[in-house]
């Protein structure tokens, strides 16, 4: 049984310059279940992008970098097969972001249904670019929707199977809103939750791409900011409004608003016991995950 997870952050130009944070695992079975998956991930897979840090620089810099990355990814994919007919010019262009996410869904295929011919013929670097496109869409959405930087970092293990399911009891652990220094599980389905749909106003998504948060992997995100009460209340109000406007769709699937599959929020699995005063300053110069250790 594990009690803590330790993350070593390093300067990407000097991996010996390390800042270590130790997070205490939450006192519930899901945290232990997740820790065992992380243990497997560390042994069998590699972190696919150790530098996936967001919100540690000013907003204009973030916008410039995010637009460059996502358009570069579009060009890489189109260099193999011209399937994307637009670039992202404005970080607030949600329609284009929805379109690009739809490209990912169609050409990657759903989590348990990879039937896309494109996916099977694509070389590994193009498959990786499709996966990056999904991540970069969400990065652009986060930057665009927040007037102030919201520092986070995400850790994912590319190609690791997503086979572990959330139990009915574990849906009670979801929290709507984030707290500084907390590790949350990442949504690993290929699709969108009710909460995602309530924010995105997505006209491209297929009905089949509505996917509840039912699976977990080792993948996680660390939030280094608190969400205020007003933000959380507005988020939930938007979710209820979207559900009521699309009630027929959800009722056809026997999904009432209080069904576990429509639970909004994030699943917390670990947290810092104390928040260092110089936390953000230390992370600004060490945006590379050098190691993850379970204790």
- 136 CB burial (10 A radius; 0-12, 13-18, 19+): buried
190's tokens: 């290929």
- Confidence class for position 112, pLDDT limits 50, 70, 90: low
250's tokens: 């959800």
230's tokens: 């007003």
246's tokens: 């699309």
Write the pLDDT tens digit of every residue in 169-215: 999 999 998 999 999 999 998 888 999 999 887 777 667 778 999 99
Sequence-ordered list of residues with C-beta below 8 angstroms from that of 225, at least 6 positions apart, any chain? 55, 150, 151, 152, 178, 180
How far apart, in Å, are the Cα atoms of 118 and each of 126, 207, 239, 248, 260? 10, 21, 34, 33, 34
For residue 113, give the 3-state DSSP assignment: strand
Write down the mean pLDDT value for the chain: 92
The sign of the torsion formed by the CA atoms of 35, 41, 44, 49 equals negative
- Domains of the chain and any CATH numbers: 1-48+151-295 (2.40.100), 57-148 (no CATH)
Least trusted range by pLDDT, from 48-57, 126-135, 142-151: 142-151
Q: CA-based angle 70:220:269, to the nearest 5?
A: 155
For residue 204, give the 3-state DSSP assignment: coil
Neighbouring CB atoms inside 10 A of 22's CB total 15
Give the pLDDT confidence score for residue 147 in this predicted structure: 75
Write the pLDDT tens digit of every residue in 218-275: 999 999 999 988 989 999 999 999 999 999 999 999 999 999 999 999 999 999 999 9
- Helical axes 124-145 vs 59-80, angle rounded to 10°: 150
The sign of the torsion formed by the CA atoms of 178, 181, 182, 185 equals positive
Give the pLDDT confidence score for residue 49 in this predicted structure: 87
CA distance 29 to 46: 25
Write the pLDDT tens digit of every residue in 162-175: 889 999 999 999 99
CA distance 275 to 195: 29
């Amino acid at each position: 049984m594990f009690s803590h997870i330790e993350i070593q952050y390093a300067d990407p130009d000097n991996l010996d310059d390390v800042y270590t944070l130790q997070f205490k695992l939450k006192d519930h079975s899901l945290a232990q279940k997740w820790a065992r998956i992380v243990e497997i991930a560390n042994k069998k897979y590699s972190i696919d992008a150790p530098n996936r840090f967001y919100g540690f620089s000013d907003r204009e810099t973030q916008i410039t970098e995010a637009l460059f990355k996502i358009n570069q990814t579009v060009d890489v994919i189109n260099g193999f097969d011209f399937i994307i007919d637009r670039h992202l010019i404005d970080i607030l262009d949600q329609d284009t972001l929805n379109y690009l996410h739809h490209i990912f869904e169609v050409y990657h295929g759903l989590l348990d249904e990879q039937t896309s011919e494109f996916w099977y013929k694509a070389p590994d670097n193009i498959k990786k670019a499709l996966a990056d496109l999904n991540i970069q869409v969400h990065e652009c959405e986060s930057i665009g929707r927040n007037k102030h930087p919201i520092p986070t970092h995400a850790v994912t293990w590319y190609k690791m199977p997503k086979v572990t399911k959330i139990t009915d009891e574990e849906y009670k652990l979801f929290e709507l809103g984030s707290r500084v220094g907390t590790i949350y599980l990442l949504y690993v389905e290929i699709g969108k939750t009710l909460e995602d749909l309530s924010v995105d106003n997505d006209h491209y998504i297929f009905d089949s791409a509505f996917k509840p948060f039912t699976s977990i992997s080792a993948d996680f995100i660390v939030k280094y900011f608190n969400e205020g009460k007003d933000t959380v209340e507005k988020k939930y109000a938007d979710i209820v409004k979207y559900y009521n406007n699309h009630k027929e769709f959800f009722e056809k699937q026997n999904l009432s608003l209080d069904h576990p599959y429509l639970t909004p929020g994030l699943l917390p699995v670990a947290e810092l016991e104390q928040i260092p005063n110089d936390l953000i300053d230390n992370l600004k110069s060490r945006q590379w995950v050098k190691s993850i250790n379970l204790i």
